Amino acid sequence: MLVDSPPQPRDGTTSAPPAPTARRRTLRAAGLLVSVGALALVAVASIAVGAKPMPLGDVWHGLFHASGTADDVLIHDVRVPRTLLGLLVGAALGIAGAVMQALTRNPLAEPGILGVNAGAAAAVVSAISFLGVNSLDGYVWFAFLGAGVVSAAVYLLGGSRAATPVRLALAGTAASAALYGYINAVQLTDSAALNQLRFWQVGSLAAADMATVTKVAPFILVGLVVALLLARPLNAMAMGDDTARALGAHLTRTRITSMAVITLLCGAATAACGPIVFIGLMVPHIVRAITGPDLRWILPYAAVLSPVLLLGSDVVGRVVTRPAELQVGIVTALIGGPVFIYLVRRKRMAQL
């Protein structure tokens, strides 16, 4: 029987994933294929839906038989880059959330909640306002720096090894509040920065182009590959440090590599789209209900289902206020807020 969260051993750590049976592996593989199908459908909807709806026939023609019409240009220059960026950023945020939850053994861990996205955003705002950086090539490095510094600071403020899920969430919330206050203050005193960042700040795919996609894709793809390689050592760490050492896991190396992956994924995603919250919180919890606690399955599922949620939210944002758009970061916040409250109020969570 698949469960939402694994049983807790006496030392309070997350238990190891159970040995999969052939039937369970088959069901997981089938579920992953269904998830890929859902992702394909959402990607098509992302190309077809917008201020100007397009029939599927026009979408097909624009993708594979483009002849330079206005619709073809719209598809190639606007909607395809937007969809590709949504795929990359969604996968990055979902994988970063899953790795963060496994690393901290904290079911509330998520780049937005723990302030990582806010750190990246604050660093980018500083670079634009004070250093005159005005291109993704320049401020993506500041996003990496801000994400790394804030993730380390929140971990220390939350109590380091003695941190509990709620303490880490509170430390991240406090850091986010302070950083967003700083961001707002900078923008109010710098009209150029305000105009440049007002849509980016809430998280948006609207400004996507192929140049942005090609610049952040290498960082995100490297982060995704390394994250998948961390599945086994993170599974071992779920049984406790002593057991993980006995199984041959290198704890320090795994922790440092995991933090580097989180920084890489969150920094690239935030630099491209702004701080989009709750994707990394919701999707890993949904996936565990399907796969159980084994990260060898959680991570591939998260890489597929997170873009489904992000692109689906983006499509909803284009439809509900047509011909205007509701930024995708606002939609994910409206969905994720109640989910976060539910997780905090769960009896098991309240005791942590």
Q: What is the pLDDT of residues 188-213, one digit of tens each?
A: 887 766 666 766 677 899 888 999 99
Is position 209 within any domain? yes
Compute the distance between CA of residue 183 and CA of residue 205 in angstroms, rounded to an integer: 20
Q: Is residue 161 part of a domain?
A: yes
Contact 237, 121 (CB under 8 A): no
Q: H helices of the chain, where?
A: 22-48, 56-64, 70-74, 80-104, 116-130, 136-157, 165-189, 191-197, 210-229, 231-237, 241-246, 251-273, 279-291, 295-320, 328-345, 347-350
Residue 41, domain member (yes or no): no
Q: Quick check: is 63 in a domain? A: no
pLDDT category of residue 5 using cuts at 50, 70 and 90: very low
Average pLDDT, the chain: 85
Q: What are phi and psi of 317, to 5 degrees?
A: -60, -30
Residue 315 resides in a domain: yes
- pLDDT level of residue 110 (50, 70, 90 thresholds): confident
Longest dimension (CA), the chain: 66
Question: Does residue 31 fall inside a structural domain?
Answer: no
Placement of tokens 């489904």 in the chain: 308
Segments forming the whole domain that contains residue 307: 83-350
Residue carrying the six token digits 């993730």: 151
Q: How far is CA 348 from the centre of its chain?
A: 25
Residue (of 267, 268, 233, 235) closest to 252 by Cα position:
233
Span 233-249, mean pLDDT? 87
What pLDDT score was predicted for residue 129?
84
Q: How many domains does the chain have?
A: 1
CATH number of the CATH domain containing 203 = 1.10.3470.10
Query: Around Cβ 186, how many Cβ atoms within 10 Å?
Result: 18
Measured distance CA(193)–CA(191) in Å, rounded: 5
Q: What pLDDT is stored for residue 140 in this prediction?
A: 86
8 within a domain of the structure (yes/no) = no
Please calculate the CA angle 102-105-106 and round it to the nearest 5 degrees. Answer: 105
- Alpha-carbon distances, residue 84 vs 60, 71, 123, 244, 271 (angstroms): 16, 18, 25, 38, 15
| 139 domain-assigned | yes
Q: Write the pLDDT tens digit of every residue in 156-190.
A: 887 666 566 677 778 888 999 999 899 888 878 87
The whole-angstrom distance between residue 84's C-alpha and the CA centroid of its chain comes to: 15
User: What is the reported pLDDT for 10?
Assistant: 42
Contacts of 186 (CB under 8 A, 6+ apart): 125, 126, 129, 193
3-state secondary structure of 79: helix
pLDDT in tens, 300-320: 999 999 999 999 999 999 999
